[in-house]
Amino acid sequence: MTDMKDRIRETIEGNDVVLYMKGTKTMPQCGFSSRVAGVLNYMGVEYQDVNVLADEEIRQGIKEFSDWPTIPQLYVKGEFVGGCDIVTEMTLSGELDELFDKKGVAYSKEAAEKIREANA
């Protein structure tokens, strides 16, 4: 498991934004993964997607790594942000914008506003 944790840590530390998800950013394979990938894609965030369905070790390993039982899992600059519900709430409240601003992650503020307007 140490090797698995090292692989996960390297991925998280080697990319500004990482989404562990079921499927890929262009072809999500579950509704929750699709929602988070859709938000990131719409906001123009560059991120590394990791398809947990392609590797059972990573699928289990990421849950242990974060001590979070569900997938998707979003990491920003090495920090675990949360899953679908948390990312959705943060998007709608503007907290995700604040996190991206604080961490220096590029995104479309206009797209973020449009998401909030559509869900008001």
Give the whole-angstrom CA distance, residue 111 versus residue 41: 10
Q: Name the 3-class secondary structure at 15.
A: coil
In single-letter form, the type of residue at position 36 comes to V
84 is in an annotated binding site: no
Task: Report the DSSP beta bridge partners of residue 51.
Answer: 21
Give the whole-angstrom CA distance, residue 115 versus residue 112: 5
The binding site for [2Fe-2S] cluster consists of 30
Q: Please state the residue numbers annotated as binding site.
A: 30
